[in-house]
Amino acid sequence: MVHEKEHKTKGLVAVFTGNGKGKTTASLGLAFRALGHGQRVCIIQFIKGSWEYGEIVAAKKFSPLLDFHVMGRGFTWKSDDLEKDKAAALEAWKFAKEVIEENRYALVILDELTYLPHYGMLAEEEILTALADKPKGLHVVITGRYATQKLIDAADLVTEMTEVKHPFKSGVKAQKGFEF
Ligand code: ATP
Ligand code: MG
């Protein structure tokens, strides 16, 4: 335990992982909170589905404090061309790395980043190095399933979303405003 007077501030690395719902939305909640304090936020989504996500539309209303980037060609595990996906993923990562290094934001969210190393599109060492070298005051949030032990070790905060119950299991389809 740290004694109260020893508590300090620092830019955190947070990871939201696990199979339960709430990883991306938890990070959006943090963005909302930071924006309320006039802090600049950058959200980079590494995997895009075919839905029209409410958060992308809402993000425009927070301009110019919030920048929202949906990267690549919407690569997924259902892809038809893995080489193109990999190139897009690397391009997206290069951009994210620059955003971290430039230090123009209070909070950078790398949504669904865990899938890149998981599917062999990016060496995990790249991510670990960028986190180790990040600007001291910057908060970085990474979301996605399959966070590795190395990523967990590198983080200050890790929350695993556990699925206890999900409406999908009882046949309720994804709903606008709740899932996307
Ligand atoms: P959200 O974006 O709602 O916070 P998430 O980021 O935790 O969810 P992802 O793994 O990124 O979840 O999955 C994206 C989509 O899959 C979302 O529409 C989400 O509601 C849905 N989903 C998440 N977890 C489950 C689950 N356990 N069963 C079925 N669908 C799920
Ligand atoms: Mg998500």
Q: Which of 19, 21, 143 to mutate to test the pocket of ligand 1 (most atoms within 8 A of CB)?
A: 21
pLDDT in tens, 100-156: 999 999 999 999 999 999 999 999 999 999 999 999 999 999 999 999 999 999 999
Q: What ligand has the least distance to the C-alpha of 20?
A: 1
pLDDT at position 51 is 77
Judged against a pLDDT cut of 80, whether residue 28 lies above it is answered with yes
Q: What is the rounded CA–CA span in Å between residue 154 and residue 157?
A: 9
Domains of the chain with bracketed CATH: 13-162 (3.40.50.300)
| Annotation marks residue 77 as catalytic | yes
Q: How confident is the model at residue 166 (pLDDT cuts 50, 70, 90)?
A: very high
**126 CB within 6 A, ligand 1:** no
**Which of 49-53, 62-66, 159-163 is predicted least confidently?**
49-53
pLDDT in tens, 63-91: 999 999 998 655 555 566 778 888 888 99
For ligand 1, the distance from its centroid to the CA atom of residue 83, given in whole angstroms, is: 26
Tell the residue nearest (CA) to atom 17 of ligand 1.
179
Token pair listed for 50: 């075919």
**161 CB within 6 A, ligand 1:** yes
Q: How confident is the model at residue 58 (pLDDT cuts 50, 70, 90)?
A: very high
